[in-house]
Amino acid sequence: MAAIEAEGLVKVYRSRKTEVRALDGVDLEVEEGTVLGLLGPNGAGRTTKVRILTTLLRPDAGTARGAGLDVVRDAQAVRRSIGLSGQYAAIDENLPGRENLWMFGRLYQLSSAEARIRADELLERFLLGEAADRVAKTYSGGMRRRLDLEPTTGLDPRSRLGVWDVIRAQVREGGTLLLTTQYLEEADELPNEIAVVDKGKIIARGTADELMSQVGGERIEVVVHELANLARAAQLIAPDGGAAQLVEVGRQLGEAVIKIDDIALRRPTLHDVSSRSPGALPRSSRARKRHEGRGRRRPDHDLAQPEAGAADPRARDLRDPPVDHVRAAVRLRLRRRDPAPGYPGDHPFLLSIL
């Protein structure tokens, strides 16, 4: 079952002189118990997409559901079923770590005793037990991020690996994660699949290996010592070179008395994927089949603006929510769940923004 679904999402930002189409008919589906990474340049539309999925922004057209709930019609229930971990930690720096977690537990309607027990469990899980009664402003940057389970911005490599392990454990238990990141290593390690976003559209989707295979195979790269030998060296490198050709190319360069500074076998990376133009990244077969089988889109929930003077029946749900209330506490499962009927609500889905 899909924990996150979106179809035909459109969002346009308008000013007096300009119009920016941040999302241009985006379709998205993330299965329960998986991690989908969103990769793309700044301004590609990733943050807009996450803001819509977390009820913080209303789409101009299209539909979106989280945990089986419509993000427009069921906004309050969606907020009780998700966690948003943003770029900045949502903690009170003047409270101890233990009190921060207890407060979030109470906000999510746990009893005082239940919140205390759960807070202690989480402090031990994230190796913060010894600092539990220190005020958060005395924590290091890495400790604050672990307290909030913020995305791994600013973490040292060891701490980042620890957070990855926690996320993997959460997913194994049935949680679902939509991760936006600029860390290509993180995008390669955590997601089951990666969606590449550019100019408001998803231009490719697949596993890291599938996407990297679309931008080429192995290649031999040679750095010659003298520029004058560049053309001669190029003639010795087979166009379909790979690991089997590496030794042979080195031998031929030596026989031709071409001095080199470096020779190496390079494989495509996610950096190659993210830097390719949209036309160079065909959609994966899975994404293509899903798109071709959709046919006509479902209605857009009557998202047209109401007539002048008419009350919008959804106005109550579309007001700005208490953002700090929907961040770390849900992700740390300090809450009661209110899933849609028929949706297996034992596990939340998480949305992380870097």
CATH superfamily of 2-88+150-215+269-352: P-loop containing nucleotide triphosphate hydrolases (3.40.50.300)
Average pLDDT for 68-74: 93
pLDDT tier at 154 (50, 70, 90 boundaries)? low
Mean pLDDT of 285-294: 44
Percent of residues, the chain, with pLDDT higher than 90: 18
Q: Does position 60 have pLDDT exceeding 90, yes or no?
A: yes
Using the Cα atoms of residue 196, residue 201, residue 206 and residue 211 in order, give the sign of their dihedral: negative
Q: What's the token pair of residue 135?
A: 């005020």
Distance CA 36, CA 38 (A): 7
Least confident piece of the model among 16-20, 71-75, 236-240, 252-256? 236-240
Distances (CA, A) of 271 to 211, 212, 353: 11, 9, 19
- Is the pLDDT confidence value at 328 over 50? no
Lowest model confidence (mean pLDDT) among 42-51, 56-65, 179-188, 269-278 = 269-278
Residue 221 confidence (pLDDT): 77
Across the range 92-115, mean pLDDT stands at 87
Give the integer Cα–Cα distance in Å for 69 and 343: 9
Confidence grade of residue 26 (pLDDT, cut at 50, 70, 90): very high
In sequence order, what DSSP letters do the residues of 305-349 get, joined into one string?
Answer: PPPTTPPPTTHHHHSPP-GGGGSHHHHTT-S---PPTTS-TTS-E
CB 281 within 8 A of CB 211: yes
Cα dist from 15 to 18, 24, 199, 320, whole Å: 5, 18, 18, 21
Write the CB contacts of 37 (distance below 8 Å, at least 6 apart in sequence).
179, 180, 181, 186, 187, 190, 191, 193, 194, 195
Reduced to 3 states, what is the DSSP secondary structure of residue 112? Answer: helix
User: Radius of gyration of the chain from Cα atoms?
Assistant: 24
pLDDT digits (tens, 9 = 90+) for 245-257: 777 777 788 888 8
> What's the confidence (pLDDT) of residue 354?
32
Average pLDDT over residues 22-32: 92
What does the domain layout of the chain look like in residue ranges? 2-88+150-215+269-352, 219-266
How far apart (Å, rounded) are the C-alpha atoms in residues 260 and 79?
59
CA–CA distance, 34 with 349 (Å, rounded to integer): 9
Cα 343 from Cα 192, distance rounded (Å): 22
Give the residue-averaged pLDDT of 148-169.
66
pLDDT digits (tens, 9 = 90+) for 116-151: 998 998 898 878 899 999 999 898 877 877 787 655
pLDDT bucket at 182, cuts 50 / 70 / 90: low
pLDDT of residue 203: 87
What is the model's pLDDT at position 24?
Answer: 92
Q: What is the 3-state secondary structure (H, E, C) of 243-287?
A: HHHHHHHHHHHHHCCCCEEEEEEECCCHHHHHHCCHHHCCCCHHH
| Token pair for 241 | 């070179």
pTM (2 d.p.): 0.61
pLDDT of res. 337 = 36
**pLDDT for residue 7:** 94
Cα separation, 85 vs 71, whole angstroms: 18
Which has the higher per-residue pLDDT, 275 or 113?
113
Least Cα distance to 91 among 104, 110, 78 occurs for 104
Q: Are strands 176-180 and 35-39 parallel, antiparallel or unpaired?
A: parallel
Sign of torsion over alpha carbons 46, 47, 50, 52: negative
